[in-house]
Amino acid sequence: MMRHESEHGGVMTYSYKEDRGGHMGSEYRKPALEAIQAKCVNGSRILREGEVKGYASAGMGIIEGTEDESRGRRWGIQFECKESRTELKNERETVGKN
């Protein structure tokens, strides 16, 4: 799920369970990386990864005796898209003219 998005990157998040492979083994990691790849056709750079705090999902009520169980954990990947060579060339030419 794309949490924050700009023209040049964003933050992709996905759910995971520690007892099922953690964030690296999550079945949602591959689709998240594929979505980043689809957005950034010239490639991307991962700037930061980590657990997203404060996530709660509708219907996740606390059941008596399960308060310490971890539920609804999400991992976030902050990324930026690499610019195409044409965009870089145009940007350098514009800067050089000033």
Instruction: State the pLDDT at residue 47.
Output: 95
Domain ranges across the chain: 2-57+71-97
Q: What is the mean pLDDT of the chain?
A: 78
74 CB neighbour count, 10 Å cutoff: 19
Q: Which of 10, 57, 53, 56 is nearest to 33 (CA)?
A: 10
pLDDT in tens, 42-71: 999 999 999 998 655 544 445 555 444 456
Instruction: State the pLDDT at residue 19.
Output: 86
Instruction: State the pLDDT at residue 3.
Output: 76
∠ CA 64-65-68, nearest 5°, is 115
